[in-house]
Amino acid sequence: MLEKMRKDVRILLVGEPKVGKTSLIMSLVSEEFPEVVPYRAEEITIPADVTPERVPTHIVDYSEAEQTDEQLFQEISKANVICIVYSVNSKKSIEKVTSHWIPLIIENTDKDSRVPLILVGNKSDLVEHSSMETILPIMNQYSEIETCVECSAKNLKNISELFYYAQKAVLHPTGPLYCPEKKNMKSLCAKALTRIFKVSDLDNDGILNDHELNFFQRTCFNTPLEPQALEDVKNVVRKNLSDGVCDNGLTLKGFLFLHTLFIQRGRHETTWTVLRRFGYDDDLELNQDYLFPPLKIPPDCTTELNHNAYLFLQSIFDKHDKDRDCALSPEELKDLFDVFPYMPWGPDVNNTVCTNEQGWITYQGYLSQWTLTTYLDVQRCLEYLGYLGYSIVAEQESHAAGITVTRAKKIDLQKKQTQRSVFRCNVFGDIGSGKSGFLQAFLGSNLMHQKTIKEEHKSYYAISTTYVYGQEKYLLLHEVFPDFDYLSDADLACDIVCLVYDASNPYSFEYCAKVFKQYFMDSKTPCMMIAAKSDLQEVKQMYGCTPLEFCRKHKMPPPQSFTCNTTAAPCRDIYTKLTTMAMYPHVSQADLRSSTFWLKASVGATVFAVLGFAMYRVLLRPR
């Protein structure tokens, strides 16, 4: 991700007549003082390849004799930077800077988009003294003034510097970074640099060690620091700040001090290069282009995280799981999301993914939630990866490099195989049929635990891993609101349909039968019937045929008995069956009814689940 820069810079020169505005422009262009000076120079454009910042620059002159006030106001509104030219040997032209020009410019510019001003003292060849003593109080009075340059159009003194400073004032403005009156960094700048520090602190120990500082340097400036240069930087901080260096690494205070020093010494471009590399725009907001890189998703395709993105997210989990318990406590989670402008996960997430006995999100639950976000709202996932600095840390062109767009589902059906890792199961059922219990049971929550969940913390999604033929897959369950007449395309688009009825309620099955007949009877989406609350007395369903007969008639597997009213965690076999049916929608019903088929599909599930957890602990041990 390359830093964003303005496409061009527009410099306007204003000031009293005869102060030398036109001469300055002509001296710059011809590199000699003009014998004949017109009232006004034509607008000139300096190509990008001859400017220090590699940006096309337009220089615009103003002449009171040739232009109306209205034309002046238009030029002021179009300018990116305005040079107010005065003559160092004319007290009147200096007085006009504050009595006329600055108020006029402020009045004709948008209050929200501050235009930087450069004070230009021309004709320095005519005097032996400097005007700086008079100008400094003016600079202190107006924060819009970036700098002051004394020059001479006649002997070409500081002409190139003048236009360089003007260009720099636009591309690397002081205003958003620093408050000259208070002599400290502005809060927005400190906030942005704090996020950059935390993203660069790869082991989350609160300091940037030599490896992290070199990575940061290489990321921003394409070159590592020599060992001696690294020590020199730390020594500068040590001399000025008692807690700027700790354990031979740079602390956050030291990092912010260094950037304050750069700004105070006029090296704004260093701080701006860092800010832009990490995605910030001129207002110190994260760029929309940085947060939302283009990603084309054809119809019938889904989005998943790829291997590199999972590795990155694992490293983020690892560096915040301070106590190494393979779960994130509320404090650890808050620390992880400290680089976000808001808390992205609400209390419902704890009822969407697997948690430990304390209700903390586990390692598997953490990856599951990222998988869910990627599948349901990939733009939000890209935004989140942006806040974490994925493209920078993983050295990718953009966050989109972490996303896999799957091939169209119809091609999977034709080829009778899929490379997808995430499968969506939409769960239908009448009110009180046990849908919510079915979702929570997938996360290992029995009925007793489910009763402790607050209404406002409930989730209509549940996602976790299952193992089919030894392959780890994500199954995403979505509880569809039982409004029969208003099922949206999203309610119907899925890999498998789960129809849940309460086996103890004689009127519960009818809803499932209706949904199936109206929406899924003629579709290619596989369906499974779940007889929930099987711990209660089963009753005859008040429908034209029994659920078993209905399933046989429509070539579905027989109804699967299910209960979450168990002492331990509910049985997960049913979820393996759902994932298998989603993966192999072309498999015949005869095969689905075969116990051998299910045995082959689920074999190794427990082994792989235990192995996955053990492997994570092994990976943590060296740390």
Helix (H) or strand (E) holding 139: helix 132-141
Q: Return mean pLDDT, the chain.
A: 90
What's the confidence (pLDDT) of residue 579?
Answer: 96
Spell 241-256 as b/e; 16+ CB within 10 A means b. Answer: eeebbeeebbbbbbbb
Burial class (CB in 10 A: 0-12, 13-18, 19+), 610: exposed
Average pLDDT over residues 167-173: 87
User: What is the spatial distance between Cα 366 and Cα 445, in angstroms, rounded to a whole number?
Assistant: 17
What's the confidence (pLDDT) of residue 89?
Answer: 92
User: pLDDT at residue 469 above 80?
Assistant: yes
The one-letter amino acid code at 527 reads: C
Q: How many CB atoms lie within 10 A of CB 621?
A: 7
Let me know: does 286 contact 390? Beta carbons within 8 Å: no
What's the confidence (pLDDT) of residue 595?
Answer: 55
Residue 473 covered by a domain: yes
- The helix-helix angle for 210-221 and 227-240 (nearest 10°) equals 110
Helix (H) or strand (E) holding 491: helix 489-492
Residue 326 covered by a domain: yes
- List the single range of 5-14, 326-335, 523-532 with lowest mean pLDDT: 5-14
What's the confidence (pLDDT) of residue 144?
Answer: 85
Let me know: does 463 contact 371? Beta carbons within 8 Å: yes
- List the single range of 85-99, 227-241, 304-318, 603-617 with lowest mean pLDDT: 603-617
Q: Which are the contacts of 319, defined by CB distance < 8 A and separation ≥ 6?
A: 202, 203, 204
User: Residue 616: what are its φ and ψ, rounded to 5°?
Assistant: -65, -40
User: What is the spatial distance between Cα 554 and Cα 518, in angstroms, rounded to a whole number?
Assistant: 13
Residues in the chain: 623
* Same-domain pairing of 262 and 360: no
Average pLDDT over residues 250-255: 97
Residue 488 covered by a domain: yes
* Same-domain pairing of 520 and 564: yes
User: What is the spatial distance between Cα 497 and Cα 428, in angstroms, rounded to a whole number?
Assistant: 8
More confidently predicted of 170 and 152: 152
- List the single range of 293-297, 385-389, 443-447, 592-596 with lowest mean pLDDT: 592-596
Whole-Å CA distances, 379 to 153, 296, 400: 54, 11, 9
Q: Among 349, 354, 359, which Cα is nearest to 329's?
A: 359
* Same-domain pairing of 67 and 166: yes
What's the confidence (pLDDT) of residue 3?
Answer: 45
Q: How much is the CA Rg of the chain, to the nearest whole Å? A: 34
User: What is the spatial distance between Cα 279 and Cα 257, in angstroms, rounded to a whole number?
Assistant: 21
Let me know: does 73 contact 49? Beta carbons within 8 Å: no
User: pLDDT at residue 344 above 90?
Assistant: yes
Q: Among 141, 140, 155, 146, which Cα is nearest to 120's?
A: 146
What's the confidence (pLDDT) of residue 601?
Answer: 55
* Same-domain pairing of 33 and 85: yes
> pLDDT tens for residues 309-318?
999 999 999 9
Residue 295 covered by a domain: no
Q: Among 440, 557, 448, 449, which Cα is nearest to 496's?
A: 557
Average pLDDT over residues 421-432: 96
User: What is the spatial distance between Cα 557 and Cα 580, in angstroms, rounded to a whole number?
Assistant: 13
What's the confidence (pLDDT) of residue 1?
Answer: 38
- List the single range of 40-54, 216-230, 587-601 with lowest mean pLDDT: 587-601
Q: Which are the contacts of 34, defined by CB distance < 8 A and separation ≥ 6?
A: 23, 26, 27
Average pLDDT over residues 377-395: 97
Give the global pTM: 0.84
The one-letter amino acid code at 582 reads: A
Residue 4 covered by a domain: no
Q: Which are the contacts of 329, defined by CB distance < 8 A and separation ≥ 6?
A: 323, 358, 360
Q: Which residue has the tokens 């031979």?
A: 248
User: pLDDT at residue 184 above 50?
Assistant: yes
- DSSP string covering 376-442, please? H-HHHHHHHHHHHTHHHHTT-SSGGGGEEEPPPHHHHHHHT-----EEEEEEE--TTSSHHHHHHHH
Q: Which are the contacts of 154, defined by CB distance < 8 A and separation ≥ 6?
A: 23, 27, 33, 123, 125
CATH number of the domain enclosing 333:
1.10.238.10
User: What is the spatial distance between Cα 469 and Cα 368, in angstroms, rounded to a whole number?
Assistant: 20
User: What is the spatial distance between Cα 86 and Cα 106, in angstroms, rounded to a whole number?
Assistant: 18
- List the single range of 20-34, 349-363, 592-606 with lowest mean pLDDT: 592-606
* Same-domain pairing of 576 and 613: no
* Same-domain pairing of 17 and 80: yes
Please give the distance of CA 307 from its chain centroid, rounded to a whole number.
Answer: 19
Burial class (CB in 10 A: 0-12, 13-18, 19+), 108: middle
* Same-domain pairing of 40 and 167: yes
What's the confidence (pLDDT) of residue 622?
Answer: 45
HSE, side-chain direction, 13 A CA sphere, residue 446: 10
User: pLDDT at residue 242 above 60?
Assistant: yes
What's the confidence (pLDDT) of residue 593?
Answer: 53
> pLDDT tens for residues 555-612?
999 999 999 998 888 889 999 999 999 999 876 554 555 555 555 555 544 545 455 5
* Same-domain pairing of 331 and 462: no
pLDDT band at residue 112 under the 50/70/90 scheme: low
Q: Which are the contacts of 590, defined by CB distance < 8 A and separation ≥ 6?
A: none
What's the confidence (pLDDT) of residue 2?
Answer: 40
Q: Determine the structural domain holding residue 388 and report its residue range.
A: 301-344+356-405
Average pLDDT over residues 320-344: 96
User: What is the spatial distance between Cα 532 and Cα 524, in angstroms, rounded to a whole number?
Assistant: 25
* Same-domain pairing of 383 and 479: no
User: What is the spatial distance between Cα 618 and Cα 439, in angstroms, rounded to a whole number?
Assistant: 31
CATH number of the domain enclosing 94:
3.40.50.300
* Same-domain pairing of 85 and 186: no
Q: What's the domain count of the chain? A: 5
* Same-domain pairing of 451 and 502: yes
Collapsing DSSP to helix, strand or coil, 201 comes out as: coil
Residue 349 covered by a domain: no
User: What is the spatial distance between Cα 386 and Cα 344, in angstroms, rounded to a whole number?
Assistant: 13
Spell 269-286 as b/e; 16+ CB within 10 A means b. Answer: ebbbbbbbbbbbbbebeb
Token representation of residue 187? 């809060």
- Which residues lie across from 472 on neighbouring strands? 467
> pLDDT tens for residues 318-330?
999 999 999 999 9
Q: Which are the contacts of 68, defined by CB distance < 8 A and separation ≥ 6?
A: none
* Same-domain pairing of 381 and 447: no
User: What is the spatial distance between Cα 429 and Cα 300, in angstroms, rounded to a whole number?
Assistant: 26
Residue 291 covered by a domain: no
Residue 503 covered by a domain: yes
User: pLDDT at residue 436 above 70?
Assistant: yes
